[in-house]
Structure 1
Amino acid sequence: MQSSEQKTSHPPASHDAKAEQIVAAAREVFLELGYAATSMDQVAQQARVSKTTLYTRFPSKEELYTAVISAECERRGLRFSPEMFDRMPLRDVLVQVGRRFTDLLWSDAAIRVHQAVVGEATRMPVAAQLYFQAGPEQGIANFVALFTRLAERGVIVTDDPAFVARQFLAAMQGGAYCQLVLGLCPAPTEEERHAFVDKAVDLFLRGLTA
């Protein structure tokens, strides 16, 4: 039986099911073939849409690739507003955003995309540029905005919140991440990921509040 929330929920006015269908299909093709080897024809076939439908929503492969990366970040909760954490204790804020970040960064899809981008970077620099702009650059900007707000509210003490944000993200890339990228270890469980984030946050907090 559906809950009352489920019964009354409606997609937003900007909801475009066909675009979401295309992005989901493109995600699979890009993961399998990488940026360079993927064609718009293959995406249209995978999505089971006409090329007219595809190009109407995504006029170029570059825009489609950017949309795929951005959608994955959105799905993992990394397109957040700093104000949404105003009522939370600092540790809870850092644990929550840290878990979101590692859940994405350590995921199989993100590892495969990172490997493909690094492999293609020399001969296909546009792929690396698009990946960085849609993923890491936007993610860094969100975290900088969060730490800036924390500093403005007096929750943390720093004259360089952008530096603090980048150091926090660097801390979240420790643990098993290097081995994962190199294919040298199995993916950590959710419990293991969260335990790592908890320890990293506690260590980080000792520096922020000293």
Structure 2
Amino acid sequence: MQTPTPRQAAKRQSILQVATDMFLAEGYSGVSVDGIIAKIGGSKRTLYAYFGGKEGLFAAIIEQLCAENVSPLTHMSLAQKPLKEALTTIARVFLDVVLSPRTLALHRLIVSEALRAPEAAKSFFEAAPATAYSCLADYFTWAEEARLIIPGNPQTRAKIFLDALTGDLQLRCLLGLSPCPGKAAREHLISETTAIFINGLSTDRH
């Protein structure tokens, strides 16, 4: 494949940016190629040349948004941190990711299109939830070897901890039933959840 020129790359990115906002606001069915072109200018031929059509554009958008979501998690290091510090660190990053307005909008979009576009749903899950589960499971494996925590299944523990943070909170935010909690409320939730986990896992308490 021929390497795009800087001008072509910039044009492609501008299409992605405009189309992303449209898909997140209006859903897949509410967006048309004509509507995108009306906003960005140019011709349909350009869009089709870059993405092959609406479906290809949607896939490129999901790929980019998933990369944005996973970035804070992949740049986070829990290696050899004390238990409380490690749990607090990943909890803050995880909540920041899953409760951000952009991620919530993406989540709604993915759910609405999951049956039609299963690969997009898979990409979304692997980007944030699965990456976070894996990162924390790796830490639990190390913590068990270091005898900071009692033996157990690290993958199951990671899922329980992170799912306990979101609980009904994420669903309420997705449905618009309540505003997302501010920093103080999140810190309280993180503190309580972390304390319960430490109480159950720490070797100092067994």
Task: Using structure 1 for the length normalisation, give the TM-score.
Answer: 0.70
Q: Does 1:79 align with 2:63?
A: no
Other-structure match for 1:10: none
**More divergent stretch after superposition (183-192 vs 154-163):** 154-163
Indicate if the aligned counterparts of 1:44 and 1:54 stay in contact, CA closer than 8 A: no
Task: Using structure 2 for the length normalisation, give the TM-score.
Answer: 0.72
1:25-174 paired onto structure 2 within 5 Å: 25-35=18-28, 51=47, 54=50, 60-61=56-57, 62-74=59-71, 77-80=72-75, 84-174=77-167
Residues in 2 aligned to 1:152 and 1:24: alpha-carbon distance in whole angstroms: 45
Residues in 2 aligned to 1:169 and 1:184: alpha-carbon distance in whole angstroms: 21
Q: In the alignment, residue 82 of structure 2 is paired with which amino acid?
A: P
CA deviation digits over 1:44-77, x for unaligned, max 9? 887789649955xxxx432441221121231xx2
CA deviation digits over 1:67-93, x for unaligned, max 9? 21121231xx21145xx3335321111
Measure how far apart 1:161 and its partner are: 0.9
SS at match of 2:147: coil
The structure-2 alpha-carbon separation of the partners of 1:198 and 1:122, relative to structure 1 and needing over 3 Å to count, comes to same
Other-structure match for 1:203: 196
Q: Does 1:191 align with 2:188?
A: no
Give the number of aligned pairs: 188
Indicate if the aligned counterparts of 2:164 and 2:193 stay in contact, CA closer than 8 A: yes
Residues in 2 aligned to 1:96 and 1:155: alpha-carbon distance in whole angstroms: 17
Residues in 2 aligned to 1:44 and 1:72: alpha-carbon distance in whole angstroms: 27
SS at match of 2:81: coil
Higher helix share: 2
Residues in 2 aligned to 1:127 and 1:142: alpha-carbon distance in whole angstroms: 22
The structure-2 alpha-carbon separation of the partners of 1:121 and 1:52, relative to structure 1 and needing over 3 Å to count, comes to closer
Identity %, equivalent residues: 25
> Over alpha carbons, which structure has the higher Rg?
2
Indicate if the aligned counterparts of 1:35 and 1:127 stay in contact, CA closer than 8 A: no
Residues in 1 aligned to 2:13 and 2:145: alpha-carbon distance in whole angstroms: 37
Residues in 2 aligned to 1:68 and 1:140: alpha-carbon distance in whole angstroms: 19
> 4+ runs of 1 displaced by more than 4 Å?
17-26, 35-55
Indicate if the aligned counterparts of 1:111 and 1:180 stay in contact, CA closer than 8 A: yes
**More divergent stretch after superposition (120-129 vs 35-44):** 35-44
Indicate if the aligned counterparts of 1:26 and 1:47 stay in contact, CA closer than 8 A: no
Structure 2 unaligned residues grouped into runs of 5+: 1-8
